[in-house]
């Protein structure tokens, strides 16, 4: 009888340091130059509640914008899209991506305010170019409040 195994199990090679977390596109999270950072987003429900209660409400084409000043040195964005208006998750996510991208392009010019965009109609999905234009109008009115009186 053989007292040792006929084959020896291979030992695992020593591993290097753990890999950094990666985003869905495969890039490390630290190397995403166009990502919307946490300091530019409204994250807590209390922050949303404060903007809804203290902020000014502006109705636009298919969405409402709630705007309140903040104590930070940059604008922050919050987005709400109810299932009542867009039942499919893929549609809600598409609208949220559009809003985030539009905000990201204009964020450097915005004053220090908290902004919550609440989609209030399914028609935003029916005409995306018009929706983008209305978002651009909103950002422009926030950037130059005296020039543009649409707010």
* The pLDDT of residue 50: 94
Tens digit of each residue's pLDDT (9 = 90 or more) over 58-83? 998 889 999 999 998 889 999 999 99
Instruction: Record the pTM.
Output: 0.73
Can you tell me the distance from the alpha carbon of 75 to that of 3, in angstroms, rounded to the nearest whole number? 72
User: What's the whole-number mean pLDDT along residues 42-67?
Assistant: 91
Contacts of 34 (CB under 8 A, 6+ apart): 104
3-state helix, strand, coil in the chain (%, to 5): 40, 20, 45
Q: In this structure, what token pair is assigned to residue 36?
A: 């919307």
Alpha carbon of residue 13 to chain centroid: 41
On whether the 57-143 domain is CATH 3.30.230.10, my answer is yes
Tens digit of each residue's pLDDT (9 = 90 or more) over 101-150? 999 999 888 999 999 999 988 888 888 999 999 999 999 988 876 654 55
> Which of 20-24, 83-87, 90-94 is predicted with the least confidence, judged by mean pLDDT?
20-24
* The pLDDT of residue 148: 46
Tens digit of each residue's pLDDT (9 = 90 or more) over 10-41? 666 666 666 666 666 666 656 666 677 888 88
Contacts of 109 (CB under 8 A, 6+ apart): 139, 143
Domain ranges of the chain: 57-143
* The pLDDT of residue 37: 80
Q: Is the pLDDT assigned to residue 7 strictly greater than 80? A: no
């Amino acid at each position: 009888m053989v007292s040792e195994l006929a084959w020896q199990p291979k030992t695992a090679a020593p591993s290097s340091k753990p890999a950094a977390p990666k985003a869905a596109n495969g890039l490390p999270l630290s190397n995403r130059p166009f990502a919307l950072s946490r300091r530019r987003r409204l994250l807590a429900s209390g922050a949303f509640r404060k903007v809804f209660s203290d902020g000014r409400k502006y109705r636009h084409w298919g969405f409402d914008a709630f705007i309140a000043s903040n104590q930070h040195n940059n604008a922050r964005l919050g987005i709400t899209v109810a299932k009542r208006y867009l039942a499919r998750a893929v549609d809600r996510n598409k609208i949220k991506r559009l809003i985030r991208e539009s905000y990201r392009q204009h964020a450097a010019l915005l004053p220090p305010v908290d902004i919550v965009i609440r989609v209030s109609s399914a028609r935003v999905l029916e005409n995306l170019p018009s929706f983008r234009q209305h978002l651009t109008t909103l950002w422009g009115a926030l950037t130059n409040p005296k020039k543009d009186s649409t707010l």
